[in-house]
């Protein structure tokens, strides 16, 4: 699966332990992807403020991608 994200939070639940996530065409603020996740506890990868092209491969994956939503209106104090 390939997609382009824009300032998104991406969570990938890797239930088979074989996920391959390619973020070479993207940038992100932080991630736990290189912290040595356990093979025992059905790991999840999280990317914050992800922008760019992403490719994900694996047998049993659960993906959640949410773009940051900013308010369309602002509330000002009225005196």
Question: What is the DSSP track for 16-74?
Answer: SS--EEEEEEEE-SEESTTS---TTTT-EEEEEEEEEEEEEE-SSEEEEEEE----SS-
Q: Give yes or no for residue 9 having a pLDDT over 80.
A: yes
Token digits of residue 37: 């996740």
Token digits of residue 20: 């391959």
Per residue in 14-52, pLDDT tens? 888 888 999 999 999 988 887 665 555 557 889 999 999
pLDDT of residue 70: 53
Per residue in 43-71, pLDDT tens? 788 999 999 999 999 998 998 888 765 54
pTM of the model: 0.73
């Amino acid at each position: 699966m390939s997609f382009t994200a824009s300032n998104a939070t991406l969570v990938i639940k890797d239930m088979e332990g074989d996920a391959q996530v390619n973020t070479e065409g993207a940038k992100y603020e932080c991630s736990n992807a290189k912290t040595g996740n356990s093979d025992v506890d059905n790991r999840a990868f999280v990317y914050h403020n992800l922008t760019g092209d992403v490719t994900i491969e694996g047998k049993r994956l659960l993906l959640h991608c949410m773009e940051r939503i900013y308010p369309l209106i602002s509330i000002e104090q009225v005196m």
